[in-house]
A and B are shown apart, each in its own frame.
Chain A
Amino acid sequence: MASTACFVIVSRNDCPIYESEVGTAPKKDEAAHLHQFILHASLDIVQDVVWTTNAMYLKLVDKFNDLLVSVYVTADTHTRLMLLHDSRNEDGIKNFFQEVHELYIKMLLNPLYVPGSRITSPFFDTRVRTLARKYL
Chain B
Amino acid sequence: METDLRVEGGSMIRVAVLAVGEMPAAQLRDYVSMLVQHTRISLASVNPYYTEHQKSPFALQPWESGSLLLKFLVGGAAKSPWEDFQAQRKILGVIGLCHCPLSPDLGSAYEQFLSMCRAYPSAQVTRCFAFHPTQAQMRQDDEKKKEFLVMFPSTDRQNLEFHMQTLMRDFAASLLMAFESWVLHLKPAGLTTPLDSQTSLNSDEVNKKRKLGRVQKTIGDYCLLACSPSDANAHYATAIELARLTADLLWHAGAIEGHVCALVLEPSGMKDELLEQEVQFLYMEAIQLYRRATALSFELESTLKLARFLCSRKELARDVVDLVVGAVEGSKTLMDANDRLVVNVEAAGIFGALGYERKAAFYARQVALLYKQQNSHWAAVSSLQVMSVCAHYYRCEMKSSNSLVDGQDKQGGEWSTLQMDVLMDMLAAAVRAGDAMAAWSAAAQLLRHHYPLITPHSQLGLANALSMAAHRLPSGTRSSYAVLPFVRLHSYPPMPAEREIVKRTTDKEWWMGPASSGPFIYTPFIAKGDSNEKLPVIWVVGEPVEVLVELANPCAFEVFVESISLSVEHGHFDAFTVSVTLPPSAGQLLSLSGMPLSVGTLMIRGCIVKCFGMITEHLFEDVVEGKMVKGTVLVDPFKSWHRVHHAALSNKVEVVQPLPLLVARVVGGEGAAVLYEGEIREVQISLSNAGVVPVVEAHLALTGKQQQNVVSIGHSILEDALPLLPGATIVVPVVLKAGSPTPEPDLRVNTVKPSNDVASPMLVIHYAGPLSQEGEEVSPGRRVALPLQLHVQRGLCLVQARLLSMEVAANISSAIVEPICSKDAAAENGESLVKMDPYRGSWGLRLLELELWNTTDVLFEITVSRKDGSESEKLAEDGECLYPRTRIERDYSACVLIQLERFKLAGLDKASLARASVRKDALSKQYAMSKDVADREAKAELNSAIEELSSRICVKWHSGRNSAGVLPIKDALREALQASALKILLPDPLTFGFRLVKTSATQNSTCEDTSPESYPNPHRVGLSKVEAEEDSAVTKSKGGGGIAVRELALIEMLVRNNTSEAMKMTLSVTCRDVAGTSCLGAIGSKPTVLWAGTLDGMEVEVGAVGEVVHRFALCFLVPGQYTLLGAAVIQSQTSHDSLCYNGPPFAVLVAGAS
Contacts and interface: CB of A to CB of B under 8 A. Distances in A.
Interface of A: 10-11, 13-17, 19, 32-33, 36-38, 40-45, 48, 62-65, 116-118
Interface stretch (B380-388, B415-423, B1082-1090): B415-423
A42 B421 CA distance: 18
B412 interface: yes
B663 to A, nearest CB: 57
Nearest to A65: B329
Contacts of A42: 358-359
B584 interface: no
A16 B629 CA distance: 12
B772 to A, nearest CB: 52
A16 B321 contact: no
13 contacts: A10-B413, A11-B413, A15-B415, A15-B632, A33-B421, A37-B365, A41-B358, A41-B361, A45-B321, A45-B359, A48-B317, A64-B325, A64-B328
B750 interface: no
B138 to A, nearest CB: 59
B633 interface: yes
State the 7 A-B residue pairs at the shortest beta-carbon distance, nearest first: A14-B413, A41-B362, A44-B356, A15-B413, A118-B632, A33-B421, A15-B632
Contacts of B414: 15
A33 B415 CA distance: 11
A16 B325 contact: no
B1120 interface: no
A37 B362 contact: yes
B413 A62 contact: no
Contacts of B356: 41, 44-45
Contact of A13 (B317, B357, B413, B417): B413
Contacts of B317: 48
A7 to B, nearest CB: 14
B631 interface: yes
Interface of B: 317-318, 321, 325, 328-329, 332, 351, 355-359, 361-363, 365, 394, 411-415, 417-418, 421, 631-634
A37 B421 CA distance: 9
Contacts of A63: 325
A48 B321 CA distance: 12
B325 A11 contact: no
B415 A44 contact: no
B400 to A, nearest CB: 19
B417 A43 contact: no
Contacts of B417: 16, 19, 33, 36
Given A13-B411, A118-B631, A118-B633, A40 B357 contact: no
Give the dominant DSSP class at A's interface. mixed
B632 A44 contact: no
B329 A16 contact: no
Given A11-B413, A38-B362, 8 more contacts: A14-B413, A15-B632, A16-B632, A36-B417, A36-B418, A37-B365, A41-B356, A41-B359
A32 B365 CA distance: 14
A116 B633 CA distance: 10
B638 to A, nearest CB: 20
B321 A43 contact: no
Given A10-B413, A62-B321, A43 B358 contact: yes
A65 B340 CA distance: 14
B325 A37 contact: no
A48 B351 CA distance: 13
B390 to A, nearest CB: 10
A118 to B, nearest CB: 5
A44 B329 contact: no
Nearest to A41: B362
A19 B633 CA distance: 13
A62 B363 CA distance: 14
B1062 to A, nearest CB: 90
Given A45-B321, A118-B631, A32 B415 contact: no
A38 B355 CA distance: 17
A44 B358 contact: yes
B418 A13 contact: no
Nearest to A116: B632
B359 A44 contact: yes
Contacts of A44: 351, 355-359
B807 to A, nearest CB: 89
A117 B418 CA distance: 18
A38 B362 CA distance: 7
Given A15-B414, A16-B415, A117-B632, A32 B421 contact: yes
- Most chain B Cβ neighbours within 10 Å, of A10, A17, A41, A64: A41
Max chain B CB contacts within 10 Å: which of A37, A42, A48, A64? A37
A13 B408 CA distance: 11
Nearest to A15: B413
B411 to A, nearest CB: 7
Nearest to A12: B413
Nearest to B629: A15
B412 A14 contact: yes
A37 B632 contact: no
A126 to B, nearest CB: 20
Contacts of A64: 325, 328, 362
Nearest to A17: B632
Contacts of B421: 32-33, 37
Contacts of A38: 362
Highest count of chain A CB atoms <10 Å: which of B318, B325, B413, B417: B413
A12 to B, nearest CB: 9
Contacts of A116: 632
Contacts of A17: 632
Nearest to B361: A41
A64 B365 CA distance: 14
Nearest to B420: A33
A62 to B, nearest CB: 7
Contacts of A15: 413-415, 631-632
A17 B418 CA distance: 14
B160 to A, nearest CB: 45
A65 B332 contact: yes
A32 B417 CA distance: 10
Contacts of A14: 411-413, 415
B162 to A, nearest CB: 46
Contact of A40 (B325, B415, B632): B415
Nearest to A33: B421
B1023 to A, nearest CB: 92
B317 to A, nearest CB: 6
Contacts of B394: 40
Contacts of B358: 40-44
A15 B487 CA distance: 26
A13 B328 CA distance: 29
A17 B321 CA distance: 27
Contacts of B318: 48
B416 to A, nearest CB: 8
Nearest to A52: B318
A86 B325 CA distance: 16
Contacts of A19: 417
B383 to A, nearest CB: 15
Contacts of B365: 37
Contacts of A62: 321, 325
B407 to A, nearest CB: 14
Contacts of A10: 413
Nearest to A49: B318
Nearest to B633: A118
A63 B1024 CA distance: 128
Q: Which of the listed residues B321, B358, B363, B411 has the most CB atoms from chain A within 10 Å of its own CB? A: B358
A78 B880 CA distance: 99
A33 B721 CA distance: 80
Contacts of A32: 421
Scoring B317, B328, B332, B356 by chain A CB atoms within 10 A of each residue's CB, the highest score goes to B356
B626 to A, nearest CB: 14
A116 B631 CA distance: 10
B362 A13 contact: no
A3 B667 CA distance: 90
Nearest to A118: B632
